[in-house]
Amino acid sequence: EAGVTQFPSHSVIEKGQTVTLRCDPISGHDNLYWYRRVMGKEIKFLLHFVKESKQDESGMPNNRFLAERTGGTYSTLKVQPAELEDSGVYFCASSDRLDEQFFGPGTRLTVL
């Protein structure tokens, strides 16, 4: 069974540009989560999808971040326009149970 995959693994962009991160959850997992780790700090929750619906988006930092999960399969996280403080590692996780989450390898975003 394939695990959670994320694309790209690394992204380097300039301030003001747009970046779209993609997450493919484990097949059949209704729950999909996005997290972010800024350098040296804890991993913080961004949002939670149940199928295609946003269950909880309380962690989204501002309206420059837009997450979608069309059809309840893969999800995208778009940052537009990117700022320097958006640099970090973005993790996606999926689950089919309420008490366990499987994490993807993360996307390392660097905004210059």
Partner 1 sequence: AQKITQTQPGMFVQEKEAVTLDCTYDTSDQSYGLFWYKQPSSGEMIFLIYQGSYDEQNATEGRYSLNFQKARKSANLVISASQLGDSAMYFCAMGSLGNQFYFGTGTSLTVIP
- Asked if 92 contacts 111 with a C-beta cutoff of 8 angstroms, the reply is no
39 versus 70: smaller Cβ distance to partner 1: 39
81 versus 105: smaller Cβ distance to partner 1: 105
State yes or no: residue 106 binds partner 1 (CB under 8 A). yes
State yes or no: residue 102 binds partner 1 (CB under 8 A). yes
* Run of H or E residues at 44: strand 43-50
Percent helix, percent strand, percent coil in the chain, to nearest 5: 5, 50, 45
* Run of H or E residues at 96: none
Stretch that binds partner 1, among 12-20, 63-71, 75-83, 104-112 (CB under 8 A): 104-112
Hey, what long-range contacts does 64-69 have (CB within 8 A, 24 or more apart)? 67/34, 69/32
Q: Which positions from 23 to 62 touch partner 1 by CB under 8 A, shown as an x/- string?
A: --------x-x-x----xxxxxx--x------xx--x---
Count the site residues for partner 1 by CB under 8 A: 27
State yes or no: residue 99 binds partner 1 (CB under 8 A). yes
